[in-house]
Amino acid sequence: MKKIIIPILSIFLMASCELTDVVDQDPPNNLVPENVVKNENDAKALLNGVYSTIISFSSPHYYMYSELVPAALSGSMSSIGFGDGNSAFVTNNVLFDNGELKNFWQIKYKVLDAANNTIALVEELPDEEFSGNTKSEIIGEAHFLRAMSSFDLLRYFGQFYDLDSEYGIIIRTEPVNFVSRNKARSSVAATYDQILSDLDYAMVNAPDFSVNHRASKTAAKALKARVLLFMGNYSGAASIANEVIESQVRQLEPDFPAVFNNGLNSSEIILLTHRSPDSDTEDNNRKRFYSGRTGNTWYPEMMEGDPRQEFTYEGLKILKVNNEETYRPTYFLRLAQMYLIKAEALAFENAALEDIQEPLNEIRLRAGLATSEATTIEAVKEEIFQEYVRELAFENGSEWFAAIRFNKIMELKPEITSEDQFILPIPEDEIFGNSELNLSDQNPGY
């Protein structure tokens, strides 16, 4: 089993990423093959540094906040911490000078920059320094991680729901330096094009699936299905989700609690975070108890009577992210999501009702529910939405983005009165620290 470690080189990379803030720092531009990466082991350490950035305990805004922020925005959690910085997400009134917003933005660009450094530096190394396909696999894995961070930036800070929108993200495909740090926003369409290009590269070059805490060809294909769904490319999303399902690389666990109890040995999980014992600290394994967070929201009402409730939260405490044996992981991708993506895509294509219900029923039956009783497309859409909530809540924003796609969020959360609130503002430091941006580049409504 591969272990996520933080060697000296990775620590150097993470420190560099801290400097390469893309907003208000002057990053060093001396990460060159001659003085950093000289062989295969160095290249592997550089890639490990990308994962180390994602799971950094000192900056939990990638792993932990991918659960907290969308839960606050959607209302599936009634609070996500102390202070005005976090409460603003709960009330859907986030201002562009919010400190937590800045951290949420920056960590994704730090991961993206770490992936870009990996790609650039490893590409420069001679092929003879590597065994087998290791060089192309490392670069392929880094392309996946760049796509994942870019997609997360688009989902939270760009108008992902409008392919004609000019409000995409700042696309970055090279390490940040004095020349490249100041850069304009790209359109949503251009952002999606870059994400898909990276995923297509990873689908060919990343390693085959071996462990569920590393990127792989399967993870790239699964993420592509999700991206296509967000784009409204329903036929493509259904087709690729079905490919992941039929590949049998991953298989549904026999019951819902086994997904989380089996952790690293789960047959279903495609990608999660993981810390190995020799790269973790005791403090890290005490994170994310989330006590008192479900509160008086719409979420407990929707979960009432569902067999998965007792394994998802107990009273007011979230359970599914509190598996101690796997260091309380964040779940990015799992096979159940592919079944729901297939069902959703078919529903929005107005496919035959029985074709829509087939993947939906796989998840319902596994959960201990009866098969779908819907007799109309609208009724089956309602069932699919509820399955996203009941099956995938607190997993990489699934309930928040499903509520937007199914046009449910304003009904569930009265604080949301405009689609402008579907995304967050670009942070103040980026607006004023990037010479290619100004206030006219801010997201509408902020």
Q: Tens digits of per-residue pLDDT, 394-437?
A: 999 999 999 999 999 999 999 999 999 999 999 999 999 999 99
Query: Is the residue at 141 inside a domain?
Result: yes
Give the range of the structural domain holding residue 235, as residue numbers without chain letter.
8-421
Instruction: Please choose, from the candidates 196, 190, 222, 198, the residue with its C-alpha nearest in 3D space to the C-alpha of residue 209.
Output: 222
Question: Beta-carbon neighbour count of residue 248 at 10 Å?
Answer: 8
Number of separate helices (H) and strands (E) present in the chain: 18, 4
In a domain, 16, yes or no: yes
Whole-number Å distance between alpha carbons of 265 and 300: 30
User: pLDDT value at position 282?
Assistant: 56
Using the predicted structure, report yes or no on whether residue 113 has a pLDDT greater than 60: yes
Give a yes or no: residue 217 inside a domain.
yes
Quick one: pLDDT at residue 352? Answer: 98
pLDDT digits (tens, 9 = 90+) for 74-110: 999 888 876 667 889 999 999 999 999 999 999 999 9
pLDDT the model gives residue 284 = 52
pLDDT at 3 exceeding the cut of 50: no
CATH number at residue 409: 1.25.40.390
Taking CB atoms within 8 Å and a gap of at least 24, the contacts of 416-423 are 416/92, 418/445, 419/161, 420/444, 420/445, 420/446, 421/92, 421/445, 422/159, 422/161, 423/155, 423/156, 423/157, 423/158, 423/159, 423/160, 423/167
Angle at 402 between CA 287 and CA 249, to 5 degrees: 70
Contacts of 204 (CB under 8 A, 6+ apart): 140, 217
Express as a percent the part of the chain with pLDDT over 90.
Answer: 75
pLDDT at 320: 86
CB 49 within 8 A of CB 40: no
Which residues on adjacent β-strands are paired with residue 132? Answer: none
- How far apart, in whole angstroms, are the C-alpha atoms of residue 45 and residue 52? 10
The pLDDT of residue 250 is 98
- pTM for the whole thing? 0.91
pLDDT band at 205 (very low <50, low <70, confident <90, very high): very high
Between 65-74 and 398-405, two packed helices, what is the crossing angle to 10 degrees?
A: 40
Number of structural domains in the chain: 1
> What would the mean pLDDT of 289-305 be, rounded to a whole number?
79
Q: Which residues contact 40 (CB under 8 A, 6 or more apart)?
A: 129, 130, 131, 134, 135
The answer to the question of residue 437 being in a domain is: no
Q: Are residues 59 and 74 in contact, defined by beta-carbon separation less than 8 angstroms?
A: no
| Mean pLDDT across 224-240 | 98
pLDDT at residue 183 tops 80: yes
- Closest to 392 (Cα-Cα) out of 307, 305, 312: 312
Residue 441 lies in a domain: no
Over range 247-276, report the average pLDDT: 93
pLDDT at 20 over 60: no
126: in domain: yes
Could you give the CA distance from residue 310 to residue 124 in angstroms, rounded to a whole number? 52
Rounded CA separation 101/211 (Å):
32
Q: Can you tell me the distance from the alpha carbon of 245 to that of 233, in angstroms, rounded to the nearest whole number?
A: 18
**Residue 440 included in any domain:** no
What residue type is 68 in one-letter code? L
What would you measure as the largest C-alpha separation in the chain, in angstroms? 65
Residue 430 domain-assigned?
no
Give the whole-angstrom CA distance, residue 102 versus residue 107: 9
pLDDT higher than 50, residue 197 = yes
Phi, psi at residue 86, to the nearest 5°?
-85, -35
